[in-house]
Amino acid sequence: MRFFEDVTIGEEFVSHTAYLVTGEEITSYAGKWDPQPYHVDEEQAKRTMVGRLFAPSILTLAISVRLSHESGYCDISSVAGLGIDELRMTKPVLVDDELKVKATVMSMRESKSRPKLGVMTTRIEVINQNGEIVLSYLLSGLVNRRPQ
Amino acid sequence: MRFFEDVTIGEEFVSHTAYLVTGEEITSYAGKWDPQPYHVDEEQAKRTMVGRLFAPSILTLAISVRLSHESGYCDISSVAGLGIDELRMTKPVLVDDELKVKATVMSMRESKSRPKLGVMTTRIEVINQNGEIVLSYLLSGLVNRRPQ
The answer to whether residue A73 neighbours chain B at the CB level (below 8 Å) is: no
Task: Return d(Cα B107, Cα B112) in angstroms, integer.
Answer: 15
According to the model, what pLDDT value does residue B11 have? 96
- Inter-chain contact B61–A61, Cβ cutoff 8 Å? yes
Nearest to A62 among B33, B50, B69 (CB): B33
What are the pLDDT digits (tens) for B97-141?
Answer: 999 999 999 999 999 999 999 999 999 999 999 999 999 999 999
Report which residue type is found at A115: P
The answer to whether residue A1 neighbours chain B at the CB level (below 8 Å) is: no
pLDDT range class, residue B148, cuts 50, 70, 90: confident
CA distance to A48, A53, A55, B27, per residue, from A43 (Å): 10, 9, 15, 34
According to the model, what pLDDT value does residue A44 have? 93
- Inter-chain contact B48–A137, Cβ cutoff 8 Å? no
According to the model, what pLDDT value does residue B73 have? 83
CA distance to A110, A141, B132, per residue, from A113 (Å): 9, 14, 22
pLDDT range class, residue A73, cuts 50, 70, 90: confident
Specify whether the CB–CB gap between B121 and B139 falls below 8 A. Answer: yes
Nearest to A65 among B34, B82, B89 (CB): B34
Positive or negative, the CA dihedral A10, A11, A17, A20 is negative
User: CA of B138: which chain A residue's CA is closest?
Assistant: A85
Residue B17 vs residue B55, higher pLDDT: B55
- Residue A75 pLDDT more than 90? no
Task: Return d(Cα B29, Cα B73) in angstroms, integer.
Answer: 25
User: CA of A79: which chain B residue's CA is closest?
Assistant: B48
Nearest to A34 among B36, B66, B79 (CB): B66
The answer to whether residue A116 neighbours chain B at the CB level (below 8 Å) is: no
Positive or negative, the CA dihedral B87, B90, B92, B93 is negative
Domains, in order of start, for chain B = 4-144 (3.10.129.10)
Positive or negative, the CA dihedral B107, B102, A29, A135 is positive
Task: Return d(Cα B117, Cα B80) in angstroms, integer.
Answer: 11
Task: Return d(Cα A144, Cα A146) in angstroms, integer.
Answer: 6
> Averaged over B41-66, what is the pLDDT?
95
- Inter-chain contact A57–B87, Cβ cutoff 8 Å? no
- Inter-chain contact A83–B86, Cβ cutoff 8 Å? yes
According to the model, what pLDDT value does residue A65 have? 96
According to the model, what pLDDT value does residue A148 have? 81
According to the model, what pLDDT value does residue A103 have? 96
User: CA of A30: which chain B residue's CA is closest?
Assistant: B66
Min CA distance, A23 vs chain B (Å)? 18
According to the model, what pLDDT value does residue B87 have? 98
According to the model, what pLDDT value does residue A1 have? 87
> Averaged over A69-81, what is the pLDDT?
87
User: Which residues in chain B touch residue A63, judged by CB atoms under 8 angstroms apart?
Assistant: 33
pLDDT range class, residue A16, cuts 50, 70, 90: confident
